[in-house]
Structure 1
């Protein structure tokens, strides 16, 4: 609540009591040792009342009403992304973490719908938030283990060349939206995904949360933090 609303609200309450105070002082000032103080208070309240009455009603309502605004820079939800909205956004740019996420979306999910690409971004960012994984986008994307890479494009032996610049520009915008704090509404905290063509052993232990396009999403038995 703003300081102005607190002051104005308090002043209005005090003004409502001003009439009663004035009447009480008028009756009892002859034998009240603090009558002079009360008289001064009534005079002050009278001045405040006159000042408030001089403000147009619409203006007074405006300055005493709290307006809940979205957080500055808050991005759209992936649930509302569309080609039209993305096309209206400026070309996406960013640091190394942005580049890692954009590359992952392009090489891992460029054939997916916008929702499917945003869902893969959710998985990567959910892993960043999970203490079991590296604490950066690049760390998550490039993470490997004894069985290979977490994301197949990283170590599939093929050169990572961007041949479809239009698609890359679009997934880069999705990466920017997600890094800027878009809510993760699509996969319910997923940290893993696979295509229907395979059935990895871990999928039996994890909780299936969604299927979007050609990817099935899962979260670990202990759910990770998400927006």
Structure 2
């Protein structure tokens, strides 16, 4: 209802301003029941002239109900960018960089090069989320090269195969994604995830974490949010 009243109010204002200037009657402040004095009436007339010069499409936008900035539960709704071919094409070429860039590009190549662009960004988010988590190394290279009780956190690093990026097109693509992540694009796809796995495996650790999303072939998880109960 408030949104409809907002639109109705704006329509009423437009109708008022659309009255030809010659038909307007200037009322004194004493006999004007609306309280619109000469000064305000003059301003309305000026706005009428200005509105007459605007394109019809622009006038239409003035009557549209504004989109809410908050969801029904009061939480601000995040605007997630669209990561598609157009987004990728707009990114600068990134075929070389420092050691941290090379570690991220290599990890994206071997872990996600066959994924859609959003899937590649999601894997990159996990790596950078780990960098910011005290439970993991504090550098990109430290994260992607970290070992665990079964081998490596990222299996490509210790699978005994060459780590050369053999597909030039795929390498260029993940290079753009790596550069964008390092340069600070919003990390909104995985909601703070620090773990992921492909759909064809079902690791036992997944039961101990909170599932955040599924993108491409990967499911993403984060540590469960702890709740402190007051005594």
TM tier, shorter chain? Answer: 0.5 to 0.7
Structure 1 unaligned residues grouped into runs of 5+: 1-76
Is 1:201 matched with 2:201?
Answer: no
Is 1:175 matched with 2:178?
Answer: yes
Higher relative contact order (CA 8 A, sep 6+): 1
Residue of 183, 187, 191 corresponding to 1:184: 187
Name which one, 1 or 2, has greater alpha-carbon Rg: 1
Task: Write the distance in 2 (CA, Å) between the matches of 1:171 and 1:165.
Answer: 10
Question: Secondary structure of 1:158's partner?
Answer: coil
Residue of 98, 102, 115 corresponding to 1:99: 102
- Per-residue CA distance 1:183-215 (angstroms, 9 max, x = gap): 111001000000111111110010000010000
Give the deviation of 1:164 after TM superposition.
Answer: 1.2
Output the aligned Cα RMSD.
Answer: 1.6
Q: How many residues end up aligned between the 2 structures?
A: 147
Residue in structure 2 matched with residue 142 of structure 1 by the alignment:
145
- Per-residue CA distance 1:168-195 (angstroms, 9 max, x = gap): 1011111111111111110010000001
Residue in structure 1 matched with residue 90 of structure 2 by the alignment:
88
Task: Write the distance in 1 (CA, Å) between the matches of 2:225 and 2:98.
Answer: 31
Task: Write the distance in 1 (CA, Å) between the matches of 2:81 and 2:108.
Answer: 17
Q: Is the 8 A contact 1:102 1:171 kept in 2?
A: yes
Task: Write the distance in 2 (CA, Å) between the matches of 1:161 and 1:78.
Answer: 33
Moved over 3 A (4+): none
Give the deviation of 1:136 after TM superposition.
Answer: 0.2
Structure 2 unaligned residues grouped into runs of 5+: 1-78, 227-231
1:18-167 equivalent positions in 2, closer than 5 A: 79-92=81-94, 93-167=96-170
- Per-residue CA distance 1:94-113 (angstroms, 9 max, x = gap): 21001100100001101100
Give the deviation of 1:124 after TM superposition.
Answer: 0.2
TM-score normalised by structure 1 residue count: 0.62
Quick check: which one's helix share is greater? 1
Give the deviation of 1:222 after TM superposition.
Answer: 4.5
Q: Is the 8 A contact 1:78 1:184 kept in 2?
A: no
Task: Write the distance in 1 (CA, Å) between the matches of 2:80 and 2:115.
Answer: 14
Task: Write the distance in 2 (CA, Å) between the matches of 1:78 and 1:151.
Answer: 27
- Change over 3 Å in CA distance of 1:128–1:78 after alignment to 2: farther
